[in-house]
């Protein structure tokens, strides 16, 4: 009886430690506000997405969608810090949505929301299933857009 109780305690402890070591799931999107005109932010976003094949780019609707890309991340953009198992079993697309905002002091702001729709191939019968993104690529693209905007502002001011 004592060995059964020890076995149950070890099993419960193992489950608790296993669940505690799991990484929390990242948000399914990343959002950021940018100061500037809608046209400037739109062009900066297109420059940041230079390494992505685009399926949709509609400025009036405020939408940019990339084609479906094989792999869990864009290898031309960055090297992922952790090795990914079987990158050919992943595919994803990036979706950007834009919103024009105006502050109380009449300054132009643009909100960009980035969603990475990552899918993993399970098996022949199940097919492609949604897989959570780590959020790294989304945050990196938003940083890139901000950096391009700051470079454009610095160039416009001149020496």
What's the rounded Cα separation, in Å, for the pair 129 and 135? 18
Task: Place 34 in a pLDDT band, splitting at 50, 70 and 90.
Answer: very high
**pTM of the predicted model, to two decimals?**
0.73
Helix axes 136-157, 38-48, angle to 10 degrees: 120
Query: Virtual CA dihedral for 135, 57, 151, 101, nearest 10 degrees?
Result: -80
Choose from 42-46, 66-70, 86-90, 119-123 the range with maximum mean pLDDT. Answer: 42-46
User: pLDDT tens-digit profile of 97-149?
Assistant: 999 988 888 889 999 999 999 999 888 888 889 989 888 889 999 999 999 99
CATH class (in words) of the domain with range 26-157? alpha beta
């Amino acid at each position: 009886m004592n060995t059964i109780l020890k076995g149950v305690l070890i099993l419960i402890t193992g489950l608790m430690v296993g669940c505690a070591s799991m990484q929390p799931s990242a948000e399914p999107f990343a959002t950021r506000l940018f100061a500037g005109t809608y046209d400037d932010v739109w062009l900066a976003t297109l420059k940041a997405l230079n390494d992505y094949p685009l399926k949709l780019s509609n400025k009036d609707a405020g939408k940019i969608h990339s084609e479906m890309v094989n792999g869990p991340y864009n290898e031309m953009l960055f090297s992922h810090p952790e090795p990914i198992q079987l990158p050919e079993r992943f595919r994803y697309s990036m979706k950007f949505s834009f919103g024009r905002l105006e502050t109380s002091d009449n300054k132009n702001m643009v909100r960009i929301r980035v969603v990475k729709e990552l899918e993993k191939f399970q098996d022949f019968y199940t097919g492609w299933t949604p897989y959570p993104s780590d959020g790294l690529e989304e945050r990196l693209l938003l940083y890139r857009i901000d950096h391009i905007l700051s470079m454009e502002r610095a160039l416009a001011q001149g020496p």
